[in-house]
């Protein structure tokens, strides 16, 4: 110590003592006092992963339901709801799988439940079955007509709008409001029962539209229709490449 003070100027010597003491103290605290889990990041990460993995599961997953509810599974597997997980509607059911008698999953019956998916919403993808929950059989629970495990229209629909509501509503405010769907589409009776396997026809050619919109159209529906010269009007294209027939966007 004395030597240190001789060798260095007084202030420097004192600082050296202080700094060395601080480093020693810090090192002692870090290496001896502080337990490893607090300072080892790999340990902390492994611990966090372990804790994360040990969190309780609430949704049992679709395979779990099959074990006991096979009969519903068989019914569901051919229907429109075949890709739906049971817990999408019945809620988390892990507790139910562990103690089936005591904990029962919910059975949603309220009329507000199904419209969460099936109420009409212009943002929903085209073709997704949608209804107007206010106008669609008010006050009746959905399940009184539809079986949620194999949903189908309860009776053969009479109107196209029963399924194609979006198109119907669009057409209703368009210039084509007067046209029946059958003017352009022929729907076989079978389409109403298995809509995906038997499809209605669609017009194939420019001439079909030309029957009303051609320069010399003679069809009785063509009376007030805007007329164009089929020879020069967009001859390269079929009409519905530019115009959407359910809501033709002609500016008047």
Where on the chain is the footprint of other proteins (CB under 8 A)?
9-12, 14-15, 17-18, 30, 34, 38-42, 44-45, 47-49, 51-59, 61-62, 81, 83-85, 87-88, 91-92, 112, 115-117, 119-125, 128, 132-135, 166, 169-170, 173, 247
Which of 145, 146, 177 shows the shortest CA–CA distance to 161?
A: 177
Q: Please say which residue, 28 or 45, places its beta carbon nearer to other proteins.
A: 45
CA angle 210, 248, 225 (to 5 degrees): 45
Task: Report the distance separating Cα 75 and Cα 86, nearest Å.
Answer: 13
Please name every residue paired with 131 in a beta bridge, in sequence order, or none if there are none.
119
Q: Please say which residue, 91 or 233, places its beta carbon nearer to other proteins.
A: 91
Least gap, CB of 15 to other proteins (angstroms): 7
Which of 95, 116, 117 shows the shortest CA–CA distance to 104?
A: 95
Least gap, CB of 83 to other proteins (angstroms): 6
> Three-state SS for 40?
coil
Q: Please say which residue, 18 or 198, places its beta carbon nearer to other proteins.
A: 18
Q: Please say which residue, 15 or 198, places its beta carbon nearer to other proteins.
A: 15
Task: Report the distance separating Cα 2 and Cα 28, nearest Å.
Answer: 25
Least gap, CB of 135 to other proteins (angstroms): 8
């Amino acid at each position: 110590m004395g030597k240190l003070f001789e060798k260095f100027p007084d202030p420097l010597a004192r600082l050296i003592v202080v700094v060395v003491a601080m480093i020693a103290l810090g090192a002692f605290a870090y290496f001896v006092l502080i337990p490893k889990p607090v300072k080892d990041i790999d340990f902390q990460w492994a611990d966090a992963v372990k804790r994360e993995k040990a969190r309780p599961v609430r949704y049992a997953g679709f395979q779990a339901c099959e074990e006991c509810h096979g009969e519903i599974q068989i019914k569901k597997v051919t229907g429109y709801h075949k890709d739906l997980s049971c817990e999408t509607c019945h809620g988390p059911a892990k507790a139910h799988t562990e103690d089936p008698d005591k904990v029962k999953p919910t059975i949603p019956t309220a009329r507000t439940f199904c419209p969460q998916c099936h109420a009409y919403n212009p943002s929903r993808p085209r073709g997704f079955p949608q209804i107007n929950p206010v106008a669609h059989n008010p006050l009746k629970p959905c399940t009184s007509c539809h079986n949620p495990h194999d949903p189908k229209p309860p009776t053969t629909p009479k109107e196209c709008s029963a399924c194609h509501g979006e198109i119907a509503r669009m057409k209703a405010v368009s210039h084509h409001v007067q046209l029946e769907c059958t003017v352009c589409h022929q729907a076989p009776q079978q389409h109403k029962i298995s809509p995906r396997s038997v499809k209605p026809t669609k017009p194939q050619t420019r001439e079909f539209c030309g029957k009303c919109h051609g320069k010399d159209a003679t069809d009785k529906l063509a009376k007030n229709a805007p007329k164009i010269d089929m020879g020069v009007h967009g001859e390269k294209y079929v009409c519905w490449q530019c115009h959407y027939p359910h809501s033709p966007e002609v500016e008047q």
